């Protein structure tokens, strides 16, 4: 008998229940500044949750959905989303929402019966909350809301992701299956996170689904599906950070295929602050700069010929700083600082310009820019006629 298809579900766990590393430390595991921030946010959520439960038990707050035991999952979600992304929560993802600018008072207003808490009024607009959906009490309908947002992002060509959270019981709803079906069929930028607390509205998981894992339900819709230890902040982040790792891999592949020495994410229509470059002679020493920032520039200038993958077959001399220092996160998530000179300095400045929406020809004289524009229009017309 032949096999039509085979599937497996990867399980990721970086910390044992006792808190010991289960294998080689991930980049995040050695980034102590980030770990401290994540722990503080988890502790903040635990304290808030404890106080909110006390308010509810003493009749000072209406219904309240506790986040006890969900701290790592929720903070992991919040810290992995970018401000321009869209979050569709159910009714207890406070840790993720606090990360995105929602205030504790919004939560207390909502559960106290004041729907104005859903407006997130006063939330820091730079953190993302104003892009997000409000709390959703009906089970799993938020999955379809996120799928709709993801479809809009794809239709408009926006480099954004929609993420929804549901519980184990929510995966048995048609809303959940509809979301994964459309996401797989249309290849939407949708992430669905199932936070499994082992019970679905007080019904054991074994009574409401025969699936061995909940992650495998995504496979039916054609989605990449991974299971992680939800109490392990390192594992949660390892899964959700995959987007940047895949972007870096795709950018390096594109750069090398085009025989370039640098590429910015904006050149491949992804609005992330990511640069890849390789100025080595053998083209075998890639450098990845995530959220780069030039911290120092030399007074000495250099004039050198530049080209650009975004403006093919155009080369001219541009004056730039001879040496620059750049600070960024590397491919491993670790912060580092790099002193550059010569071609490397040129490449850093060239690609940083791309992140600001600028190409090197803008440094040229108006006459040269007009000649380049005329040449490119002529080439485009010729290609159109040939096609």
- Write the pLDDT tens digit of every residue in 183-208: 999 988 899 999 998 776 677 888 88
- When the pLDDT of each residue in the chain is averaged and rounded to a whole number, the result is 89
Closest CA to 182 of 145, 131, 235, 136: 145
% helix / strand / coil in the chain, to the nearest 5? 45, 20, 35
User: Is residue 4 assigned to a domain?
Assistant: no
User: Is residue 3 assigned to a domain?
Assistant: no
Same domain, 169 and 249: no
Confidence of residue 103 (pLDDT cuts 50, 70, 90): very high
Same domain, 114 and 263: no
Strand 287-297 relative to strand 323-329: parallel, antiparallel, unpaired?
antiparallel
Same domain, 227 and 301: no
User: Is residue 2 assigned to a domain?
Assistant: no
Same domain, 118 and 213: yes
- CATH number reported for the structural domain that contains residue 370 in this entry: 3.90.45.10
Instruction: Return d(Cα 55, Cα 53) in angstroms, integer.
Output: 5
User: Is residue 5 assigned to a domain?
Assistant: no
Residue with tokens 């020809």: 361
CA angle 135, 226, 217 (to 5 degrees): 70
Contact call for residues 95 and 42 (beta carbons, < 8 A)? yes
- Per the structure, the count of domains in the chain is 2
Instruction: Return d(Cα 233, Cα 29) in angstroms, integer.
Output: 10
* Residue-range definition of the domain harbouring residue 306: 245-386
Higher pLDDT, 82 or 20: 20
144-158, 165-179, 232-246: range with lowest mean pLDDT: 232-246
Active-site residues, by number, are 351
Q: Which of 210, 240, 270 is the last residue of a domain?
A: 240
- CATH number reported for the structural domain that contains residue 76 in this entry: 3.40.50.970
Q: Which of 186, 218, 240 is the last residue of a domain?
A: 240
Q: Which of 240, 255, 270 is the last residue of a domain?
A: 240
Predicted pLDDT of residue 333: 65
Same domain, 320 and 374: yes
228-242, 277-291, 327-341, 345-359: range with lowest mean pLDDT: 327-341
User: Is residue 311 assigned to a domain?
Assistant: yes
Same domain, 158 and 276: no
pTM exceeding the 0.85 threshold for the entire prediction: no
């Amino acid at each position: 008998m032949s096999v039509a298809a085979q599937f497996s579900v990867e399980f990721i766990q970086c910390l044992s229940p006792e808190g010991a590393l289960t294998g080689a430390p991930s980049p995040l595991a050695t980034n102590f500044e980030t770990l401290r921030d994540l722990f503080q946010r988890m502790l903040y959520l635990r304290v808030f949750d404890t106080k909110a439960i006390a308010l509810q038990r003493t009749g000072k707050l209406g219904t309240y959905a506790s986040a006890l035991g969900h701290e790592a999952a929720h903070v992991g979600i919040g810290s992995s989303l970018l401000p321009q992304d869209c979050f569709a929560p159910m009714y207890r993802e406070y840790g993720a929402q606090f990360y995105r600018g929602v205030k504790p008072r919004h939560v207390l207003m909502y559960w106290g019966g004041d729907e104005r808490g859903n407006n997130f009024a006063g939330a820091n607009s730079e953190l993302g909350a104003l892009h997000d959906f409000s709390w959703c009490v009906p089970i799993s309908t938020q999955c379809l809301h996120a799928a709709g947002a993801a479809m809009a992002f794809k239709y408009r060509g926006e480099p954004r992701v929609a993420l929804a959270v549901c519980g184990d019981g929510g995966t048995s709803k048609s809303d959940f299956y509809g979301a994964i079906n459309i996401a797989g069929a249309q290849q939407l930028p949708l992430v669905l996170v199932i936070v499994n607390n082992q019970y679905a509205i007080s019904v054991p998981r074994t009574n409401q689904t025969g699936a061995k894992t909940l992650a495998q339900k995504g496979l039916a819709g054609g989605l990449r599906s991974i299971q992680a230890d939800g109490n392990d902040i390192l594992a949660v982040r390892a899964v959700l950070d995959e987007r940047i790792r895949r972007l870096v891999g795709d950018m390096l592949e594109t750069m090398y295929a085009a025989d370039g020495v640098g590429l910015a994410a904006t050149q491949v229509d992804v609005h992330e602050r990511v640069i890849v470059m390789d100025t080595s002679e053998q083209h075998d020493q890639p450098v990845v700069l995530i959220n780069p920032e030039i911290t120092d520039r030399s007074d000495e200038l250099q004039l050198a010929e530049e080209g650009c993958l975004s403006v093919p077959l155009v080369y001219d001399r541009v004056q730039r700083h001879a040496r620059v220092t750049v600070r960024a996160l590397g491919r491993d998530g670790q912060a580092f600082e790099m002193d550059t000179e010569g071609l490397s300095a040129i490449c850093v400045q060239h690609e940083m310009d791309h992140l600001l929406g600028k190409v090197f020809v803008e440094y040229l004289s108006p006459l040269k820019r007009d000649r380049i524009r005329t040449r490119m229009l002529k080439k485009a017309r010729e290609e159109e006629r040939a096609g």
